[in-house]
Amino acid sequence: MKRRTLFPFVAAFVLAATMVLSGVSAVTWSSDIRLTTDVNGDWDPSAMQANDGKIWVAWYSDRTGNHDIFYKIRSGSSWSGDVQLTDDPNDDVNPLILQAMDGKIWVVWDSDRLGSFNYEIYYKTSANSGASWSADTRLTFNSSRDSYPSIMQSSDGKIWVFWSSWRNVTVEPPDPTYVSTANIFYKVSSDSGQTWSDDTLIVTDYKNNYRYDLYPSCMQVANGSVWMMWTKQKEGQGGDIYYKIFNGTHWSSETTLVVVAGDDSRPSIMQTKNGRIWVFWHTDRNTKNDIYYKVFDGLWSGDIKFTTAIEDDDWPSAMQSSDLTIWVFWTSPRYPNLVYDIFYRTGMELHDVAVRAVWSSASHEAFAFRGEVAYVEVEVENQGEGMELVEVQCRANSTFLGSKVVTLNAGASYIATFGWNTTGARAGNYVLTGTVVPVLGEVDTADNTLSSGGFEIRIKGDICGWYGDVLMPVPDRRVNIDDFGMVVGHFGTASPTWNPVWGPACDVNEDGVIDLNDIMTVGVHYLET
């Protein structure tokens, strides 16, 4: 078997470790693109891709004199005009958008239409891609404020809505003063919104002087667990990012994600197709608000700065489209408008698979006798970011030996073994070729195919041939009287006293002696080509 050096593995490990420790990402991002241009403010975008491939973005705007929900749709490379979704004379803010498995589009938001700052969660749906919408439906019923909803659908079809609520009060030491605190609740519908579970408190603790739990962002990851991220905020101070995970039975304890000086807030969580979990948020750690992100691929990366404009960048929303493009939307008062507009940027992770080596493991390494099963091994590597589902193929000349589909984590390699039944194969030299089918989003495909020559299929009993005027112990791809006569001529000789050149060649059965078995083997294959 071919020996492989350690260097590629060491190099891959060092590269991966460097990326994690330094916060470097191989994503190539576009420039910032302005999505809205109204002279009034546009805030808090939420994005998703529908089943038909169109990308939807919802946000709220004060262009009508109060805050209403708007959306627009990208079809191909063009965006629709701005479409107004709500028209209540009171504030409608903080929209989240989702398309469910049944094709229904949901928009959930919070509204002050009851007055007295008693925001409640509302939603509406469309079963025909926005041609018509249901009436506004109230989801929460409490005398205190309910705001900042987040919506997702789990693989069992349930719709989940998370939000922050001020309905609970907490005793604030050292005196028994009751103060309002924001906690996170959620509720679930198993029948597309016809009925809902009770409001369930998920984050309730008031510790380390944290008073508010705000801005939940939720999703179900590939392994089936539900992740919920949010901002924990102290009174009069900035926020920090935390998360909890639901394994189908219970919620984990709180896990700290970002705790630095300043305000880190408004997380947006997503998972890309290769299994990596991303979270974007805004932070004022550089005296103004910028968007940062970090990536989980078994370990969390460092904090990576995403936007660099001189103006504030706030309220990110991230998603990945079916072509693996990552889309990030946010709000910024960029020059020359200097009012809040919606901006976005697109990027692509590094998707790169390669064939590192191809070799045979036949009985004689460089050749096999026709009729034997020869084995060809193809080593492939995931040189990109995140997990990939890869298809490995193998050929001997034009003969297709098979394919295998394997899952490879970033930096991992795999040796695929293909058995080749050589019965019926023509005697001769073969080029062994390994191919890994390009994965979606892959640009560098030059190393997706690798060939290894010099493998031969021989006929058992073919031991010699004429080369010029010299009979040499080199097979000539036919069994004839020369092979028969040479074996008979050395009959009875044995290792190590046999002829040093012709003895091994005439020992067809490789048992150390030239005997009747060798003669019979030549006879069985006599006249084969």
Determine the average pLDDT of the residues in 56-66: 96
Determine the average pLDDT of the residues in 262-288: 94
Determine the average pLDDT of the residues in 246-256: 94
Average pLDDT, the chain: 91
- The pLDDT score that the predictor gives to residue 208 is 55
In this predicted structure, the answer to whether residue 190 has a pLDDT above a threshold of 80 is yes
Confidence of residue 205 (pLDDT cuts 50, 70, 90): low
The three-class DSSP label of residue 468 is coil
Answer yes or no: are the C-beta atoms of 448 and 438 closer than 8 Å: yes
Phi, psi of 473 (to 5 degrees): -80, 55
Phi, psi of 485 (to 5 degrees): -65, -35
In the block, residue with structure tokens 């940062």: 292
52-57 — which CB contacts under 8 Å span 24+ positions? 52/129, 53/321, 53/322, 54/129, 55/319, 55/321, 55/327, 56/97, 56/99, 56/105, 57/97, 57/317, 57/329, 57/342, 57/344
Answer yes or no: are the C-beta atoms of 360 and 420 closer than 8 Å: no
What CATH number should be reported for the domain whose range is 352-458? 2.60.40.10
The CA distance from 35 to 39, in Å, is 13
What digits encode the pLDDT tens for the residues 503-528?
Answer: 999 999 999 999 999 999 999 999 99
- The pLDDT score that the predictor gives to residue 6 is 32
What digits encode the pLDDT tens for the residues 384-396?
Answer: 988 899 999 999 9
H helices of 169-305, where?
none
CA-nearest of 105, 109, 91, 191 to 150 is 109
The CA distance from 24 to 7, in Å, is 22
Mean pLDDT is lowest, of 361-375, 405-419, 428-442, for: 361-375
Mean pLDDT is lowest, of 202-216, 272-286, 300-314, 445-459, for: 202-216
- Tabulate helix, strand, coil % of the chain (nearest 5): 5, 45, 45
Q: What is the pTM of this model?
A: 0.80
The CA distance from 404 to 417, in Å, is 9
The three-class DSSP label of residue 20 is helix
Q: Beta partners for 333?
A: none
Answer yes or no: are the C-beta atoms of 239 and 267 closer than 8 Å: no
The token pair at 223 is: 């392994």
Distances (CA, A) of 333 to 142, 282, 304: 35, 14, 22
Q: Where are the domains of the chain?
A: 33-348, 352-458, 465-524
- The pLDDT score that the predictor gives to residue 188 is 98
Q: Omega of the bond prior to 89 within 30 degrees of 0, cis?
A: no
What digits encode the pLDDT tens for the residues 447-491?
Answer: 999 999 889 999 999 999 999 999 999 999 999 999 999 999 999
Answer yes or no: are the C-beta atoms of 258 and 246 closer than 8 Å: no
Q: Which of 89-103, 207-221, 246-260, 439-453 has the highest mean pLDDT?
A: 89-103
CA-nearest of 63, 49, 7 to 342 is 63
- The pLDDT score that the predictor gives to residue 27 is 84
The CA distance from 303 to 301, in Å, is 7
CA-nearest of 383, 400, 398, 396 to 438 is 383
What CATH number should be reported for the domain whose range is 465-524? 1.10.1330.10
- The pLDDT score that the predictor gives to residue 21 is 37
Confidence of residue 207 (pLDDT cuts 50, 70, 90): low
The token pair at 88 is: 């209540």
Task: For the domain made up of 33-348, give the CATH fold.
Answer: Neuraminidase (2.120.10)
